[in-house]
Homo-oligomer: A and B are copies of this chain.
Amino acid sequence: MLIGANKIESHNDELLKKHQNKFAFTTSEVGETESIIQKLIDFQIAIPSWALGTGGTRFGRFPGGGEPRSIEEKIEDVGLLHALNNASGAISLHIPWDIPTDYQAIKNLAGQHGLKFDAMNSNTFQDQATQEHSYKFGSLQNANKAIRKQAIAHNIEVIKHGIELGSESLTVWLADGSSFPGQLNFRKAYQNTLESLEEIYAALPSNWKLFLEYKCAEPNFYSTTVADWGQSYSYVKKLGDKAQTLVDLGHHLPNANIEQIVSLLLMEGKLGGFHFNDSKYGDDDLTAGALKPYQLFLIFNELVEGMDARGMNHAKDLGWMIDASHNIKDPLEDLLQSVEAIMIAYAQALLVDRKALEIAQEENDVVKAQEILQNAFRTDVRALVAEARLRSGAALNPVALYRGLDVRGNLIGERGLKTMATGL
């Protein structure tokens, strides 16, 4: 299914007057908005191929219909999102779930949808039917060298696929760890993992980056071998300039101050990118901004301040990706909601009066500093985000248009009700 420009236009025409009124008011409130809108237009959030189907939990799974059955259909799905919001201009593939057979054809298809290939993702947390050794006791950490070798080779293969597609980064998330005290020698697990990462790092093209994710727990429930930002930092520091830490919002212990971590990693030149989602208990993988929108804003507040301080390009110098799981919502609707929440947080962060905040901080005026942030957060910036979409040919209200066009119904018609996307 394709969403024609005319469909979007007629949708926008209907909402235009109300939008213009709100946009005019917002502009009058916040002052100069043109540079903000341009930044919003430029900002793109990659969609992971596995978020297009039902993810779910270890308990029941409740797949919807019309899920993408192939890499081509996944690209089609992201294309639909991008047509609707012009903010999802990249797809992040996962090997072996998305092994392309004809690179050029895939690149052409993505190009038709205006999509780039974001970070490639390897998988050493599951056993594939064709695989010689099992990752039951870990991959890059494994006490058994043959298993480590297999996992290293897999990662290098993923890089190769990515090179063909024009991706420029590899995201390594390791399930490696232990579920019981005594199971692992932490030091040896670290050193094995480091050695393995060094081999993978050596296979990176010069323009590539390696993003090393951390996660406090799950699927191992006693220790994880890259468990927190400090551990990821200690690895990427040893690996070299191309290695950086990737922050997934759902991978922290309760109450962690993620925005401080983001600020410090940026300071160290070791922040590589993000996996956006939201959570209450663990790695719940819910819609971004669905539970803690102020935290999301505070994170963007650090990103904007920190990237500007280093002269970084917001849109290009970090990897932005959603990583969520869908069990009870239509994945495409959920992704539209995630992108909207992220854009809102970003827009709010762009509104922060940096000069005033700096002065308040210098003067330890805590009340004022709080007011400055709350002032930005309490501002209704939805018209700015909508204006960015309007100017780039996307829909004023993506979810409404998605529903109005019965996209899901169309996809079910095309693909069937009982399809099942590859993934978790």
Q: Using a CB–CB distance below 8 Å, which chain A residues touch chain B? A: 21-22, 25, 28-29, 55-62, 125-127, 134-137, 143-144, 175, 178-188, 190-191, 216-219, 221-223, 227-231, 233-234, 253-257, 259-260, 263-264, 266-268, 279-282, 284, 286-287, 289-294, 298, 301-302, 305-306, 309, 327-330, 333-334, 337, 341, 344, 357-358, 360-364, 366-367, 369-374, 377-380, 382, 399, 424
What B residues does A327 contact at CB under 8 A? 136, 179, 219
A70 to chain B, nearest CB (A): 23
Among B182, B286, B330, which residue has its beta carbon within 8 angstroms of that of A180? Answer: B286
What B residues does A362 contact at CB under 8 A? 143
A183 contacts B281, C-beta separation under 8 Å: no
Among B219, B298, B369, which residue has its beta carbon within 8 angstroms of that of A58? Answer: B219
B223 contacts A361, C-beta separation under 8 Å: no
**In the complex the two chains form, what is the Cα distance from A228 to B287 in whole Å?**
25
**In the complex the two chains form, what is the Cα distance from A24 to B399 in whole Å?**
28
What B residues does A221 contact at CB under 8 A? 279-281, 284, 286
What B residues does A56 contact at CB under 8 A? 58, 219
- Among A57, A229, A287, A379, the one with the most B-chain Cβ atoms within 10 Å of its Cβ is A57
**In the complex the two chains form, what is the Cα distance from A125 to B135 in whole Å?**
29
A358 contacts B185, C-beta separation under 8 Å: yes
**In the complex the two chains form, what is the Cα distance from A57 to B136 in whole Å?**
12
Among B59, B179, B234, B293, which residue has its beta carbon within 8 angstroms of that of A424? Answer: B59
A423 to chain B, nearest CB (A): 11
A407 to chain B, nearest CB (A): 13
A370 contacts B298, C-beta separation under 8 Å: no
What B residues does A281 contact at CB under 8 A? 216-218, 221, 255, 282
